[in-house]
């Protein structure tokens, strides 16, 4: 019997009952009547090559410490096949516990306490918390109204960053969470030129890189001319839903090799061996599964556009080019947004439209205000779920808005 493309879509394999048996934060933070479309976990089963690698390790009792360069080699193969990155620098890479710990450890190498780290809000909220916790100062260069990098704002922010301290950095989100923008190579080339001009070190978080959707092309920052002093963080965690299996890779540009060599040995004690095995299998052999996922996400992106037009015409969005995240402008719904002064916060903080959608529609979304400047009045919706759940969620949201306007 042949299997239709729909049956092979990883987003349609699991029922809500199966998903509700999961114990991760997506499924346990809220009561069971809530449809959780907030944190960046996907409603997919494990990719078969990843499950096989884990089963094999468990059968062998292969649960010790990680060793070697297999993760970097697997990323290198994937990067060559998918992004035409032919000379991936395995020798200039090192295992880190996860992307955010990798970001922090790289920032510790290239900046000093009190130095400025530029970010482009609205952006992944932990960029604020982790940078601040590492005693660096966050400096905002907000995205433009088209949600793309505002290169003039970056120029100005880099200039101010230099005034704050001697060794500033720019924490780039490539592709961008929460907007799903996939930065173009011409934009990244200007970033590199500005960074060189102002003496700013670029750290590129590329966790969503494998998730460029149909029509977009991901550019690894380290392949951009002028990016020799930069670092990138890569991981299988988002694309293959492996956040619970800790591992990631920090990669240095050629002129950053000496900095990478100063990475303290203890950082390499953080990644889990099972995480390394799972991520390695994903990059090495998870490409066909990823293609099926990308088809499913592309279809969900189109479905979401149609559902918003039908049920929530006042809500607008820029169709994401990558990731499984949609950044929805709810400012026209007339829901009071956050108190002035509310800033970036933890991912589960709720205010404004996200609070209303949880209370009145029983749909959990991420609240825009935690993503920094420009986030209030927005919500982030995770569409890595089945078309059925997506349809039910947006229908509920539309009904809740209808009841508010009627009441
Ligand atoms: C842009 C970005 N960076 C980092 C992370 C977290 O990655 P990790 O769990 O490897 O620290 C996420 C998770 O959603 C993310 O979206």
pLDDT digits (tens, 9 = 90+) for 36-78: 999 999 999 999 999 999 999 999 999 999 999 999 999 999 9
Q: How confident is the model at residue 4 (pLDDT cuts 50, 70, 90)?
A: very low
Q: Which of 6, 4, 2, 3 is nearest to 295 (CA)?
A: 6
Query: What do you get for the CA distance between the two ends of the chain, in Å?
Result: 53
- 124 CB under 6 A from ligand 1? yes
Mutate to test the pocket of ligand 1, among 25, 42, 99, 239 (most ligand atoms within 8 A of CB): 99
**26, pLDDT greater than 70:** yes
Mutate to test the pocket of ligand 1, among 134, 243, 271 (most ligand atoms within 8 A of CB): 243
Q: For the chain, what's the residue count?
A: 407
364 with 37: CB under 8 angstroms?
Answer: yes
Question: Of 72-86, 177-191, 297-311, 344-358, where does mean pLDDT reach its minimum?
Answer: 344-358
User: How many Å lie between the centroid of ligand 1 and the Cα of residue 104?
Assistant: 12
Burial tier of 129 (Cβ tally within 10 Å: 0-12, 13-18, 19+): middle
User: How many Å lie between the centroid of ligand 1 and the Cα of residue 235?
Assistant: 9
**pLDDT at residue 340, as a whole number:** 46
- 211 CB under 6 A from ligand 1? no
**pLDDT at residue 337, as a whole number:** 80
202 with 230: CB under 8 angstroms?
Answer: yes
**pLDDT at residue 346, as a whole number:** 63
User: How many Å lie between the centroid of ligand 1 and the Cα of residue 140?
Assistant: 19
Nearest-angstrom CA–CA distance, 369 and 337: 9
b/e sequence 344-366, b meaning 16+ C-beta within 10 Å: bbebebbbbbbbbbbebbbbbbb
pTM (2 decimals)? Answer: 0.96
User: In whole numbers, what is the pLDDT of the chain averaged over residues?
Assistant: 95
Average pLDDT over residues 278-285: 98
- 98 CB under 6 A from ligand 1? yes
**pLDDT at residue 1, as a whole number:** 37
**pLDDT at residue 2, as a whole number:** 37
**Alpha-helix runs per DSSP H in 250-324:** 257-261, 273-285, 287-311
**pLDDT at residue 292, as a whole number:** 98
Nearest-angstrom CA–CA distance, 69 and 239: 21
Average pLDDT over residues 122-134: 97
Place of tokens 């095995």: 277
**pLDDT at residue 349, as a whole number:** 74
Mutate to test the pocket of ligand 1, among 124, 209, 384 (most ligand atoms within 8 A of CB): 124
- 100 CB under 6 A from ligand 1? yes
pLDDT tens per residue, range 140-150 = 999 999 999 99
Place of tokens 């020798």: 91
pLDDT tens per residue, range 327-372 = 999 999 999 886 544 556 666 677 799 999 999 999 999 999 999 9
């Amino acid at each position: 019997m042949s299997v239709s493309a729909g049956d092979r879509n990883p987003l349609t394999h699991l029922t809500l009952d199966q998903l509700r048996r999961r114990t991760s934060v997506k499924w346990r933070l809220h009561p069971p009547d809530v449809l959780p479309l907030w944190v960046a976990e996907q409603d997919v089963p494990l990719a078969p090559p990843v499950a096989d690698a884990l089963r094999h390790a468990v059968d062998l009792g292969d649960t010790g410490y990680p060793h070697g360069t297999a993760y970097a080699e697997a990323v290198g193969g994937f990067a060559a096949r998918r992004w035409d990155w032919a000379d991936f620098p395995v020798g200039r890479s090192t295992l880190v516990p996860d992307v955010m710990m990798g970001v922090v450890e790289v920032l510790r190498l290239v900046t000093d306490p009190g130095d400025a780290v530029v970010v482009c809000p609205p952006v992944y909220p932990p960029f604020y918390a982790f940078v601040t916790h590492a005693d660096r100062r966050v400096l905002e260069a907000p995205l433009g109204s088209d949600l793309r990098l505002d290169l003039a704002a970056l120029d100005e922010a880099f200039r101010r960053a230099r005034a704050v301290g001697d060794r500033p950095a720019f924490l780039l989100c490539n592709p961008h969470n929460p907007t799903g923008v996939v930065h173009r190579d011409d934009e990244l080339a200007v970033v590199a030129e500005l960074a060189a001009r102002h003496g700013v070190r670029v750290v590129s978080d590329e966790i969503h890189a494998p998730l460029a959707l149909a029509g977009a092309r991901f550019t690894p920052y380290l392949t951009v001319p002028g990016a020799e002093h930069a670092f990138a963080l890569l991981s299988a965690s988002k694309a293959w839903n492996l956040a619970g299996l800790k591992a990631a890779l920090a990669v240095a540009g050629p002129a950053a090799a000496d900095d990478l060599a100063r990475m303290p040995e203890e950082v390499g004690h953080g990644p889990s061996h099972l995480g390394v095995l799972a991520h390695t299998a994903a990059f090495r052999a998870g490409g066909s599964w990823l293609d099926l996922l990308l088809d499913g996400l592309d279809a969900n992106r189109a479905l979401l556009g149609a559902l918003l037009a039908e049920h929530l015409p006042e809500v607008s969005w820029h169709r994401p080019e990558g990731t499984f995240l949609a950044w929805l402008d709810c400012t026209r719904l007339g829901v009071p947004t956050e108190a002035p002064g509310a800033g970036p916060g933890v991912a589960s903080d709720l205010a404004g439209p996200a609070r209303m959608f949880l209370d009145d529609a029983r749909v959990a979304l991420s609240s825009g205000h935690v993503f920094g400047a420009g986030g209030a009045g927005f919500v982030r919706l995770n569409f890595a779920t089945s078309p059925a759940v997506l349809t039910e969620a947006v229908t509920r949201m539309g009904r809740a808005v209808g009841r508010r306007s009627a009441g």
